[in-house]
Amino acid sequence: MVCTANDLQQWNDFPKGLRVLLLDGDTTSASQIRSNLEAVDYIVTEFCNETEALSAFSSNPESFHVAIIEVNANNGHRGFQFLETAKELPIIMTSNIHCLSTMMKCIALGAVEFLLKPVSEDKLRNIWQHVVHKAFNAGGSPISETLKPVKVSVVSMLQPKQENEEQNCKISIETENVIRVHENDQEQSAGSDKYPAPSTPQIKQGSRLLNHGDCQYQINCMSEKVSGEHDSESKSIETMFCNPIDERNLHTREPHHMPRKTVIKEENDSGDGSKSEVNMSHHPDNIDSGNDNGGAAENLSKASVPNTSCKSNRKKMKVDWTSELHKKFVKAVEQLGVDQAIPSRILDLMKTEGLTRHNVASHLQKYRMHKRHILPKDEDQRLLWPHHPPGARDPTHQTSYYPRSHRPIMAFPPYHYNNTTLSMPPAYPMWGSQPPAGSHPATVQMWGQPGYPHSHWQLSDQSWQYWNPYPGMQAEAWGCPVMPPEQGGYSSYPQNASGFRSAGGHVVENGHRYSMPRKSFNIHLSEEVVDKVMKEAISKPWLPLPLGLKPPSTEGVLAELTRQGICNIPQINGSHTQG
DNA sequence: GTCATAATAT
DNA sequence: AATATTATGA
pLDDT at residue A156 greater than cutoff 80: no
Residue A300, H or E segment: helix A294-304
Name, in order, each residue with C-beta under 8 angstroms of A204's C-beta and a sequence gap of 6 or more. Answer: none
Residue A226 has pLDDT above 60, yes or no: no
With 80 as the cut, is the pLDDT of residue A125 above it? Answer: yes
- H-type helices in A476-540, by residue range? 527-539
* Distance, CA of A434 to C1' of B4, in Å: 36
Q: What are phi and psi of A67, to 5 degrees?
A: -125, 140
Superfamily of domain A7-137: Response regulator (3.40.50.2300)
Mean pLDDT of chain A: 55
Q: Which residue is the nearest neighbor of B1, CA to C1'?
A: A342
A323-371: CATH topology is Arc Repressor Mutant, subunit A (1.10.10)
In chain A, CATH 1.10.10.60 covers: 323-371
Alpha-helical (H) ranges within A74-223 are 76-85, 100-108, 121-125, 128-136, 148-168, 185-188, 203-210
Please name which of A366, A354, A375, A235 lies closest in space to residue A301, comparing C-alpha atoms.
Answer: A354
Between these two residues, A493 and A568, which has the higher pLDDT value?
A568
Residues with CB under 7 A from strand B: A 220, 222, 252-253, 265, 277, 318, 342-345, 357, 361-362, 364-365, 368, 510
More confident residue, A163 or A369: A369
Q: Point out the nucleotide closest to A316 (alpha carbon to C1′).
A: C7
Q: What pLDDT, on a 0 to 100 scale, did the predictor assign at position A180?
A: 37
Of A104, A19, A124, nearest to A61 by C-alpha is: A19
Q: Dihedral sign, CA of A418, A424, A428, A431?
A: positive
Question: What pTM was computed for the model?
Answer: 0.34
> Where in chain A are all domains bearing CATH 3.40.50.2300?
7-137
- Share in percent of chain A as helix, strand, coil (round to 5): 35, 10, 55
Of residues 427 to 456 in chain A, which lie within 7 A of strand C by their beta carbon?
A: 453-456
How many CB atoms are located within 10 Å of the residue A569 CB?
A: 16
Q: Is the CB of A463 under 7 A from strand C?
A: yes
The most confident of the ranges A240-244, A328-332, A525-529 is A328-332
The band of A573, judged by pLDDT with boundaries at 50, 70 and 90, is very low
> Using omega within 30 degrees of 0 as the cis cutoff, is the peptide bond preceding A255 cis?
no
In DSSP terms, A43 is beta-bridged to A19
pLDDT at residue A368 tops 70: yes
Rounded Cα distance between A492 and A469, Å, is: 11
Identify which of A66-80, A285-299, A477-491 has the greatest average pLDDT: A66-80
Question: What angle separates helix A128-136 from helix A148-168, to the nearest 10 degrees?
Answer: 100
Angle at A441 between CA A435 and CA A446, to 5 degrees: 60
Using the CA of A455, give the nucleotide whose C1' is nearest: C3
A183 or A531: which leads in pLDDT = A531
Q: Which of residues 379-418 of A touch strand C (CB under 7 A)?
A: 403, 405-406
> Which amino acid is located at A147 in the chain?
L
Residue A488 has pLDDT above 60, yes or no: no
Q: How far is the CA of A464 from the C1' of B9 (A)?
A: 17
Q: What is the pLDDT of residue A393?
A: 33
Mapping DSSP to helix (H, G, I), strand (E, B) and coil, where does residue A524 land?
coil
Q: What is the pLDDT of residue A66?
A: 94
Confidence of residue A21 (pLDDT cuts 50, 70, 90): very high
pLDDT at position A479 over 60: no
Contact A148, A135 (CB under 8 A): yes
Distance of alpha carbon A324 from alpha carbon A262, whole angstroms = 8
Q: Is A317 helix (H, G, I), strand (E, B) or coil?
A: strand
Bases of chain C with protein Cβ within 7 A: 2-9
How far does the CA of A374 sit from the C1' of B3, in Å? 12
CA of A253 vs C1' of B10, distance in Å?
9
Which amino acid, one-letter code, is at A557? Answer: V
Beta bridge partners of A282: A262
User: Is residue A40's pLDDT more than 50?
Assistant: yes
Look at residue A47 in the predicted model and tell me its pLDDT. Answer: 92
Mean pLDDT, residues A231-246 taken together:
34
No. of helices (H) and no. of strands (E), chain A = 18, 11
pLDDT tens figures, A374-400: 443 334 434 433 333 333 333 333 333
CA angle A243, A246, A248 (to 5 degrees): 130
State the first-to-last Cα distance of chain A, in angstroms, to the nearest integer: 95
The torsion angle over the Cα atoms of residues A405, A408, A412 and A414, rounded to 10 degrees, is -70
Q: Which nucleotides of B are covered by protein (CB under 7 A)?
A: 1-5, 8-10
Buried b (16+ CB within 10 A) or exposed e, A536-560: bbeeebebbbbbbbbbbbbebbbee
- Tell me the C-alpha distance between A219 and A240, whole Å: 8
Alpha carbons A179 and A135: distance in angstroms, whole number: 14
